[in-house]
Structure 1
């Protein structure tokens, strides 16, 4: 039969100290895997939101079914401008999300380093 002192000691040793020791292992294994899945979901979501695949598949299809030379030229120039703008947004978003993943990786190391240089 456990008394309250043994029960509390077990809680302190196993739960609190164990979680403190397990935290870096989780951060760089399961936590990092979760962040990488989040990164992939963000990139895929932005690609779907901007419909880049659709724009690339229909790049040479004339807009409004206008098959004249002028219609094809205007369509091509318009699609180049729109696709360039969408690619800039996509690359900027991907870079921002990638920086968030890098922050996930390096912030604990930076925090430990900052604590270290204080002493």
Structure 2
């Protein structure tokens, strides 16, 4: 008798988990994934020091206030800033792509599963 009630409980729990999974995936799971994605993008912006570099674009490097020193500093900082922006855009595209994959994964898996049953 005990084995039957345990098996019934496990079956009910398993079915409830299957029913609950899509709701969690697109509610709490999606919020967690979006927060993680935003945190990754913000962390890379800090790692690349984009805000600090942007604030100091017009300040001469190494205290060289001559015209040539200012020109070299401006060009060099613009080049560095450009490369870092490209890195940031590429990394953001990767993170947003992974978030889109998170959204599409259950639907795509369900579609492939249903297609394998039909044909």
TM-score range for the pair, normalised by the shorter chain length: over 0.9
Aligned length: 117
Name 2:66's counterpart in structure 1: 68
Deviation at 1:34, TM superposition (A): 0.4
Name 2:10's counterpart in structure 1: 11
CA distance in 1, matches of 2:48, 2:2: 62
Q: Point out where structure 1 has 5 or more consecutive residues left out of the alignment.
A: none
Q: TM-score, normalised by structure 2?
A: 0.93
Matches within 5 A, 1:87-102: 87-102=85-100
Q: Point out where structure 2 has 5 or more consecutive residues left out of the alignment.
A: none
- Across the aligned residues of Structure 1 and Structure 2, the Cα RMSD in angstroms comes to 1.1
CA distance in 1, matches of 2:112, 2:2: 42
Structure 1 segments of 4+ aligned residues over 4 angstroms from their partners:
none
CA deviation digits over 1:31-60, x for unaligned, max 9?
Answer: 000000000110011001101111011111
**Among candidates 31, 37, 50, match of residue 29 of structure 2:** 31
Q: TM-score, normalised by structure 1?
A: 0.93
SS at match of 1:12: helix
